[in-house]
Structure 1
């Protein structure tokens, strides 16, 4: 997008970033996003660094465009992960689920661009003080692991923008050209897609999960484990998550013990299917390029049609 500073900073054509979802955000999906003009992100939250190394190598053969890697700090098992990323020649990193001071200095000293994911103003201010290059501002509408005191994107984006002039990527509730135009009006420079990418044709998850997203209503996600112990999270409504919503869980992460049976086996009750509220607006499984093409076309139409 001409004149967009996020595009200029990251060397991409479209200010659209793919969320770094564990086991999902790998070369097949990330390269499709890159080749469509956005920014694909490779995950490390699975903790499978040998596999991640292979996925980064695969990216080199699947795309010649920039891509990034996420460090989900709560799941880091290898203290050498920063050097690992530096050695792999990655130039853009998002950090999340932890203190932005933990890795920011080392990454920036190596010349990488660093954005930190924040769920509230306090987190944003801490990340800015740590010296990040930009922020991923994540509203409570989004899927995945969340801050227990969730704030909607409509409130959070302009609040954070009032405190910084650094680039902002809006996450949570982002789906289409209309939501991108709204995010830009609220102060963002780009958007991040999670649930829409889970349901994309190139997503590696089982078709049962994709179809559950397509069939979901806007009310078919649940905000689980708000009072702990462990992280809060937003997920699709299933028998399992309905029970967890009603009864709670003494160890929410144990509910992911059979994650592979859900992700790639299609058993929707085997674990927790993370999803954002935008599942209620997704009506089909589509290729990544078609998704990004439609976003940009609708964005232009919406902006051109705004009153005044």
Structure 2
């Protein structure tokens, strides 16, 4: 598949794995890159010493393109630009902060920079800062969110209509049909988060994967809309249901035992950040199978729509 993002990233498929804290490390990211997509190594855990070791592992696990995310709210290292540039990657996403903070310095080191945005105003600010492209993230996605959330169905075509840079769509993407929808709305690549959390190569505990598979489309909650601190979308559990009704004074304090959840399997230990698309995930699959099925379905859907609604077809007659 050839388009601006596939060319920029040097990948076979314009499918990017989300940079989820603690999860987006070498085991998962290398599987994505080896399968033809783009694996991303996270920094949002704030554990740069551990991330540095994951980068070393990454270089032994794949010879395909991969990238790094700089989560500005969680990374305080003044040398983060040098850290990223010295890893030999050519692609970086920046998020959770002002795009002006690192864009010029990263681009000065020869990196391609995409910034994650939850609104049109944020997109325009990022473009003014000089980014090469955008990750446009709808509010149905899991993780840290803008408190004034906008769905991908609204946000993506809005940003695409007002900008001309390449766009990676995030939020609600799990298969070829949702990828085709994102492309119809103006994207040239998609990012998968919850789908990758539940993948066979994901390092999280099986309990979390099973909970994603069992979840209905209504089984996430949007927390901390009024602040202080970030809003979050998470899987519905006893803990998150309580937090939805009784917001805590410090939402980040609820993440103190996150490793007990991620890797110990105790879903009540912290907040399991999960997107609404969990309601469409029916099984745990290897990354290579996820990407292959996504591309196959994407091509089938695009072909079907072209045949059914193309200029030389009768749109009122089913194909």
TM-score by structure 1 length?
A: 0.99
Equivalent pairs, count = 307
- Alpha-carbon deviation of 1:47? 1.1
Q: Counterparts of 1:214 and 1:175 in 2: how far apart (Å)?
A: 12
Q: CA deviation at 1:86?
A: 1.2
- Distance in 1, Cα, partners of 2:31 & 2:217: 27
SS at structure 1 position matched to 2:265: coil
Report matched runs for 1:167-206 at 5 Å.
167-206=166-205
String of CA shifts for 1:238-295, please: whole Å, max 9, x gaps. 0000000001110000000100100000000000000000000001110000000000
- Residue 77 of structure 1 corresponds to which residue in structure 2? 76
Within a 5 Å distance, the mapping from 1:244-263 to structure 2 comes to 244-263=243-262
Counterpart in 2 of 1:133? Answer: 132
Corresponding residue SS for 1:219: coil
Q: Distance in 1 between matches of 2:239 and 2:201?
A: 27
Consecutive unaligned residues in structure 1, runs of 5 or more: none
Matched, 1:32 2:13: no
Q: How does 1:19-98 map to 2 (within 5 A)?
A: 19-98=18-97
Query: How far apart, in 1, do the equivalents of 2:233 and 2:89 lie?
Result: 30
3-state DSSP class of the match of 2:135? strand
Q: For structure 2, list consecutive stretches of 5 or more residues without a partner in the other structure.
A: 310-319
Whole-Å Cα distance in 2 between the matches of residues 251 and 81 of structure 1? 27
Q: Which residue of 2 aligns with 1:219?
A: 218
- Per-residue deviation at 1:83? 1.0
Could you say what the CA RMSD is over the residues aligned between the two structures, in angstroms? 0.6
Structure 1 residue 77: Cα displacement: 2.1
Distance 1:163 1:53 in 2: 38
Alignment-derived partner of residue 314 in structure 2 = none
- Alpha-carbon displacement from aligned partner over 1:23-46 (angstroms, at most 9, x marks no partner): 000000000000000000000011
Alpha-carbon displacement from aligned partner over 1:217-240 (angstroms, at most 9, x marks no partner): 000000000000100000000000
TM-superposed deviation, 1:76 = 1.0
Take 1:248 and 1:47, find their aligned partners in 2: how far apart are those partners? Answer: 25
